Structure 1
Amino acid sequence: MYPTSSSIDVLIMCALKDEYDQLIEVSNGISKNWQEFNVSNRNASKAEFVTDSGITITVVATWVASMGRESIQAVVGQLIGELHPKCLAMSGICAGRREKTQLGDVIFADRLWSYDVGKRVVENDIEVFQGDTLQYKPSETIVQNMQRTSTLYKNQDMAWMELKPQYSLEAQENWVLKQLVDGKNPTEQDDFYKKCSDWSNVVLRLRKRGYVEKPVELTEVGEDYIQELLLFNPKELPAEPGFSVHVAPIATGATVTEDEKIFDNLSSYMRKVLGLDMEGSGLAASADSYNIPFIFAKGVSDFADPYKDDRYRTFAARASAELLILLLRNSESLFTSKEDKLPEIKSGNMESDDVVCLLAELYPDFDETQVLWERAGGKLSDLENRSRPYNRWHVIWKKVNQGSQVTPQALLQIIQKDNPQHIAIKSLLNAYQS
């Protein structure tokens, strides 16, 4: 049994055991293999991974055994109190927005909110739902690392991609309809077993859609559909889309959803929403309560409609776990104490990412930055209103170290007045004054 009294680096939660099973299969970057242990009377596993710069991070993973915000919050609260993680994370599966995501894609959440929390009122005898879109956001640095990871994975060992089904059920349906419209019997084609390995399931889905009738005859609706598809793809059916990683909002709801219009409704509140799950906002709320960072990654296993393709569930869970661990291995600032690193900055690089990240976290809002700059003796015309706090502070920190009207000492003195107990700021100021 592992001792649990000391702090770990990351606590990764999964909703269900099959998601957890895929998480503990991740081995890229591992230095100490997953080992099972017991924490708070729960089954869990612990492993160590190495970042690109050689820092070892300790990861503990477990699952809740039931879906929903309440379940995740109850378990997380107990585990945080015992494990004291520096970061809270989650991997697993979610529903994705059709046409904008594909089955198996991974979504990193740059915003999370509960779409079904709010108030119902009656207006002109019509019940109207007024949503309370309280958002939870990871830090700017984490979002940047998400965006970096969305392409970085291509340079890694991707043996796990073999778990992805070769053809989706929808692609198999299109192939069957193409044979029928061409007057061919699908089962008699030489490539039948390759192109339609899930024949029984495909036929049932085509009947459910109204595209074929018994036994397997094309309906008018089915012919209209396939002719429209072939109009835009005259030479051959569309190829199976490749794997993609997205950074976008994910909505959280209390119920399993089969509603083809759900994302149309959600986009009226959050235009760029791509994912739908049942735990995200609960995990983020717990992280917010304990003032620790969170990272949320989910793989698309369906489109929240009646036509689910459960064969992607395993791959979606594994892909989200692989990308999450990769992101963690490239986010060592989450686990390295700024208080330990900043006293050495004076003799190092004056544009250190550590300083910039710290200042961006302390003053993420541009209005606050303007007030701080004036208090330090600067002119508002000197500042650029860059949307990302990190980018804004990168420019400011470079400016003050290259002879601007505001010196590093003057700026740090004002920041220390605002944060008198902040050890890192004290150390940094002392380094400049020595």
Structure 2
Amino acid sequence: MKVLIVDDVQTKIREILKVLSAAGIHEEWVDTAGSVVGAAKLLKENDYGLLVIDLVLPLRLSEEPDKSGGTRLLNEIVRNSSLKRPEHIVGLTVSDEALQEAQPEFSRGLWSIVRYGTDVSEWREALVEKARYLLARESFEQEEVARDTDVLFVCALARPELSQLKVALGNNFEEVSVNGDHTRYFRTSISTQPKDISVTVCSAPSMGLTAAASLTTKACMHFKPKIVVMTGICAGKKGEVALGQCIVASTSWDYGSGKFIGSAEGVQFKANPYQLAIEPAAQSAAEAVLSDQSFLDSLHDSFQGNKPKQRLEGILAPLASGAAVQANSEFFESVAQKQVRKVAGIDMEAFAVSWSAREANEPKPICIIAKSVADFADEEKSDDFQDYCSFTSGSIGFEIAKRLI
């Protein structure tokens, strides 16, 4: 933030600098001018957040001060479009006569005018208030700009999803603090062609639709991502997909959406799901990545840990979400018969993330759901491949996102 002091008295300039310095304004941010002409030259060249102006100013340094000099400069700022108008203007004067004459002009511009004096505190308070306000706002704006991210990753849990995502992305992350938000966010920049991609990653405190929706909503507000990606693990439909296979959701929905109906046969659940489809651009990118077998093979080979014997494959298919962990071999058949016949996987978060991204502020991010099959939602559930699935889904999700940046 830059400040311009316009005054022809050096002792007064030094006093003003002391006050601004105490408020947090560094001296190198401050320019000074001793005349109307000198100030106008600086106002053509620079943007100032604050202008501190004496009312009694010479037109040029070689001339005598004029009690209307300050007002003349203000009129020039308003009239001359080549001068960059400061956001805040504070007038200071030791002359009561000049103060009274300039008051109407300052009032029209909604500017401040106070009497200056070494024994007067009002002018000091006025400068401190303006300086602190401008510094606080600039800090907020810089934080907002710094937060903007290309790709936001949302994970269900810190382990294994988020920890393996970080391994997959292969970069050093720094933690980002957001005032008033206890969630831990991590940020990095990944070098790609033709540009570097800024990435922010986070995880919810627990699994489930509610936690995922809450996290995605506030993270989108904080970081304004272009793309939202959820990666991690899911359950797959046995016979439709294999362990370790990555499902990119072509559609997602809440399989618990509907109503219970009483009848002579007892209470029955009638499903009424609302489905969200992947955006066409994301679908094209996903199809390209999932068909690149050499890329998928490289992911499988690079993972250092327990992994399936079969090679990594990917599929673009329906993925349903619900509030409960499933360990029932008949569950998939129920969803396939009553909701979507070709459902390939189920999880506890995908639909919530997709919905939150769709409802985000403009410009809305593109949403990608990429989850790898860690079990078949049956009585034989196992944690053997959760790390592998979190790693591969994270790598595939980012590869899809890269094609959309």
Partner of 1:143: helix, strand, or coil?
helix
Separation of aligned partners in 2, 1:89 and 1:166: 23
Separation of aligned partners in 1, 2:305 and 2:253: 29
Report the alpha carbon displacement of residue 123 of structure 1 after superposing the two structures with TM.
Answer: 2.6
Higher relative contact order (CA 8 A, sep 6+): 1
Give the counterpart letter for 1:314 in structure 2.
Answer: D
Partner of 2:225: helix, strand, or coil?
coil
Look up the match of 2:177.
38
Give the counterpart letter for 1:25 in structure 2.
Answer: V
Partner of 1:5: helix, strand, or coil?
helix
Look up the match of 2:346.
276
Equivalent residues, number:
256
Give the counterpart letter for 1:271 in structure 2.
Answer: R
Separation of aligned partners in 1, 2:253 and 2:236: 16
Q: Aligned to 1:98, which of 238, 252, 267? A: 238
* C-alpha contact (below 8 Å) 2:174/2:188 kept by paired residues: yes
Look up the match of 1:319.
392
Q: Aligned to 1:5, which of 144, 147, 153? A: 144
> Structure 1: where are the runs of 5+ without partners?
168-239, 333-434
Q: Which has the higher strand share?
A: 2
Which string of whole-angstrom CA distances, capped at 9 and with x for unpartnered residues, describes residues 330-356 of structure 1? Answer: 222xxxxxxxxxxxxxxxxxxxxxxxx
Partner of 1:311: helix, strand, or coil?
coil
Separation of aligned partners in 1, 2:301 and 2:346: 24
Give the counterpart letter for 2:151 in structure 1.
Answer: V
The yes-or-no answer on 1:251 pairing with 2:324 is no
Give the counterpart letter for 1:103 in structure 2.
Answer: L
Separation of aligned partners in 2, 1:289 and 1:138: 14
What pairs up with 1:157-306 in 2 under 5 angstroms?
Answer: 157-158=298-299, 161-163=302-304, 165=306, 240-268=309-337, 269-290=339-360, 291-306=364-379
The yes-or-no answer on 1:126 pairing with 2:266 is yes
* C-alpha contact (below 8 Å) 1:4/1:82 kept by paired residues: no
Question: Cα distance 1:162–1:61, how it changes in 2: closer, same or farther (>3 A)?
Answer: closer
Report the alpha carbon displacement of residue 161 of structure 1 after superposing the two structures with TM.
Answer: 4.3
Question: Cα distance 1:79–1:160, how it changes in 2: closer, same or farther (>3 A)?
Answer: farther
Separation of aligned partners in 2, 1:10 and 1:132: 32
Report the alpha carbon displacement of residue 162 of structure 1 after superposing the two structures with TM.
Answer: 3.5
Look up the match of 1:17.
158
Where does structure 1 differ by over 6 angstroms across 4 or more consecutive aligned residues? none
Q: Aligned to 2:276, which of 123, 126, 136? A: 136
Question: Cα distance 1:123–1:4, how it changes in 2: closer, same or farther (>3 A)?
Answer: farther
Question: Cα distance 1:159–1:127, how it changes in 2: closer, same or farther (>3 A)?
Answer: closer
Separation of aligned partners in 2, 1:119 and 1:155: 44
Look up the match of 2:107.
none
Question: Cα distance 1:259–1:327, how it changes in 2: closer, same or farther (>3 A)?
Answer: same
Give the counterpart letter for 1:23 in structure 2.
Answer: L
TM normalised by structure 1 equals 0.56
Question: Cα distance 1:153–1:37, how it changes in 2: closer, same or farther (>3 A)?
Answer: farther
Partner of 1:24: helix, strand, or coil?
helix
Which string of whole-angstrom CA distances, capped at 9 and with x for unpartnered residues, describes residues 310-340 of structure 1? Answer: 11011011110011111111222xxxxxxxx
After superposition, the CA RMSD in angstroms is 2.2
Q: Which has the higher helix share?
A: 1
Q: Aligned to 2:247, which of 85, 107, 113? A: 107
> Structure 2: where are the runs of 5+ without partners?
1-139
TM normalised by structure 2 equals 0.59
* C-alpha contact (below 8 Å) 1:103/1:301 kept by paired residues: yes
